[in-house]
């Protein structure tokens, strides 16, 4: 992009900060390429698209960030949902094999994890991934003892882009949306967070930046090493310190 369209809205209104929620796929780890490969494998087996592998644009526009049900409907609009979900389940099996061997954290992730730990903030993982996938990814990233709760979209009344998973996280963690923010990488996830009344930092790992902004991201960062993110976190720390001084 020629210029940075990020709205640069401050996070300081969130003090005192209580919690941070993280999506998993594409947010903690750059897993979309592995999902893409897994989809190409299982779809080629059934001759989907006349045997032509789905490209990245199709994957982003129809699959990435969606619930299994939404992905199945997008891929197989003329099929019974149950039949489509059988293909999605086969994809998940293939994905778990790939993830167990190739999963990598998004750049700078562990620096943010350290920042969160040091401040004693509550933290939840909130995802549309099946629980078996979510727990595998969290384990492979060494974060099993980091997240206090893992919220699964399909276990809520509605998955993202509806707010239900984030509303569930707020309730289970007993925190306010006015003192919480989210890291998300997809328009679907960002819309879910915004609908729950929580500011969202968009992590532009794969999805087009404009789509994240249009979904309502408060701040857009390339990854967790982005200077814009650390500037925002430093502002938060400063606002927290001023609040404590005022209340002392």
Q: Which residues are catalytic?
A: 23, 25
Q: Given CA atoms 231, 208, 189, 67 in this order, what sign does their dihedral have?
A: negative
129 close to 25: Cβ distance less than 8 angstroms: yes
Distance separating alpha carbons of residues 125 and 150, to the nearest angstrom: 5
Residues 91 and 71: beta-carbon distance below 8 Å: no
78 burial type by CB count under 10 A (0-12 exposed, 13-18 middle, 19+ buried):
exposed
- Rounded Cα–Cα distance for residues 186 and 190 (Å): 6
Q: Tokens 């650390």 label which residue?
A: 230
Intra-chain end-to-end CA distance of the chain, in Å = 46
What CA dihedral angle connects 245, 246, 247 and 248, to 10 degrees? Answer: 40
Query: Residue 127 and residue 24: Cα distance in Å, rounded?
Result: 6
Q: Which residues contact 222 (CB under 8 A, 6 or more apart)?
A: 203, 204
Compute the distance between CA of residue 170 and CA of residue 162 in angstroms, rounded to an integer.
Answer: 14
**Burial category of 224 from C-beta neighbours within 10 Å (exposed 0-12, middle 13-18, buried 19 and up):** buried
């Amino acid at each position: 992009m020629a210029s940075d369209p990020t709205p640069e809205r401050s996070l300081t209104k969130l003090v005192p900060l209580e919690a941070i929620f993280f999506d998993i796929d594409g947010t903690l780890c750059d897993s979309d390429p592995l999902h893409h490969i897994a989809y190409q494998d299982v779809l080629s087996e059934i001759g989907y698209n006349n045997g032509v592998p789905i490209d990245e644009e199709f994957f982003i526009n129809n699959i990435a960030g969606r619930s299994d049900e939404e992905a199945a409907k997008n891929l197989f609009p003329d099929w019974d949902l149950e039949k489509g979900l059988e293909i999605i389940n086969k994809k998940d099996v293939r994905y778990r094999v790939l993830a167990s061997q190739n999963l990598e954290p998004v750049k700078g992730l562990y620096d943010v994890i350290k920042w969160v730990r040091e401040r004693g903030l509550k933290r939840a993982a909130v995802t549309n991934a099946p629980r078996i996938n979510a727990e595998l990814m969290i384990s492979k990233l060494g974060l099993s003892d980091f997240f206090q709760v893992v919220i699964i979209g399909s276990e809520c009344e509605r998955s993202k882009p509806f707010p239900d998973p984030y509303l569930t996280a707020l309730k289970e963690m007993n925190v306010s949306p006015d003192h919480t923010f989210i890291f998300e990488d997809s328009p679907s996830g960002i819309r879910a967070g915004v609908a729950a009344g929580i500011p969202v930092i968009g992590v532009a790992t794969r999805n087009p930046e404009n789509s994240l902004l249009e979904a309502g991201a408060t701040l857009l960062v390339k990854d967790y090493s982005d200077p814009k993110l650390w500037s925002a976190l430093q502002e938060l720390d400063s606002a927290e310190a001023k609040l404590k001084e005022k209340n002392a």
